A = this chain, B = another copy of it.
Amino acid sequence: MLQGDSLSLARLITLVERESPDAPEILRLAGPHAGGGHRIGFTGPPGSGKSTLVDQVTGRLRAAQATVGVIAVDPSSPFSGGALLGDRIRMERHYRDSGVYIRSMGTRGGHGGLPSAIERAVMLVEASGKEYVLVETVGVGQTELDVMDAADTVVVVLVPEAGDTVQTMKAGLMEIGDIFVVNKADRDGADKLARGIETSLHLSARESSWTAPVLTTQANEDVGTEELIDAVSRHREASEASGELADRRRRRMATQFFKTLEAKVHAALHDVIASDGEVRTVVDRVENGEVDPYTAATEMLRDRELVRNWLSALDS
């Protein structure tokens, strides 16, 4: 994998994703080789053309001889149907290119836990030597915003017709965007939207040496892709110079540490709960409304025996 072999990379990501017993060792060995890539996150409402934009950016980076990894984050298992199939077809031209690695990952069911799995996958892609890692989300929601923590540069992609959607969501997106893209810029309202975003950015006046640019693209026609890549380079240089890039990476590492700690504690707790008859009795009483869930949880944690078992599970 360290030599850039895609099949090895795919296998190791799967092992780490499934929390195989080898996962800790894989991460320990890969860790020192990661951190060399630039991570570009793409987020925005469904239908804003993020996949097409990621496809065009990939094409341009490849034309400049850079290697690219793409992680498409799939917010819930049902999405493995229509939308992603479309994405796969669009990305097909890159599938046989050994300089591009593409992977879809789900987040369903893993609150707080799975953005962490995405972070691990990105780390492995970096360790395999990819110079750029593009992380793309399907929709916009809390999980998707969290996924963007993994990025060095966050690109928010919007479309003119987003209308109410943008009204509703821009606050959350305004905060995280390093670069804004109005895609499908040939449609009515594109300039108005771009100006609106600029005004909002101006009003929010973040404490930062970087002023987020607002670009227009037509990803279907590959219009504006080069300007986007230039803006990413400028953001990278500016955030390296200001120390922001290093700060983000430090925060990311600390977050990963705490998330891993929490995930391990959860897993151990669930093991104990699953194997403990007394816990099952309490759950039955909660389900039947004999005791409220909050009181039952408080009492459960006073149970020394349970807590001891749980500690043993943590150790193993």
Contacts and interface: CB of A to CB of B under 8 A. Distances in A.
Contacts of A292: 27-28, 31-32
A271 B19 CA distance: 27
Interface residues of A, number: 78
B175 A78 contact: yes
A294 B23 CA distance: 9
Contacts of A83: 167-168
Contact of A78 (B31, B45, B161, B174): B174
Interface stretch (A1-9, A54-62, A135-143): A135-143
A250 interface: yes
A256 interface: yes
Given A47-B163, A264-B298, A75 B141 contact: yes
Interface in A227-284: 250-251, 253-254, 256-258, 260-262, 264-266, 269, 273, 282-283
Interface stretch (A96-104, A107-115, A209-217): A107-115
B76 A172 contact: yes
Contact residues of A: prevailing secondary structure: helix
A300 interface: yes
A266 B265 CA distance: 9
Interface stretch (A150-158, A186-194, A307-315): A307-315
A265 B311 CA distance: 12
Given A23-B294, A262-B266, 5 more contacts: A47-B165, A141-B144, A161-B161, A256-B286, A301-B315
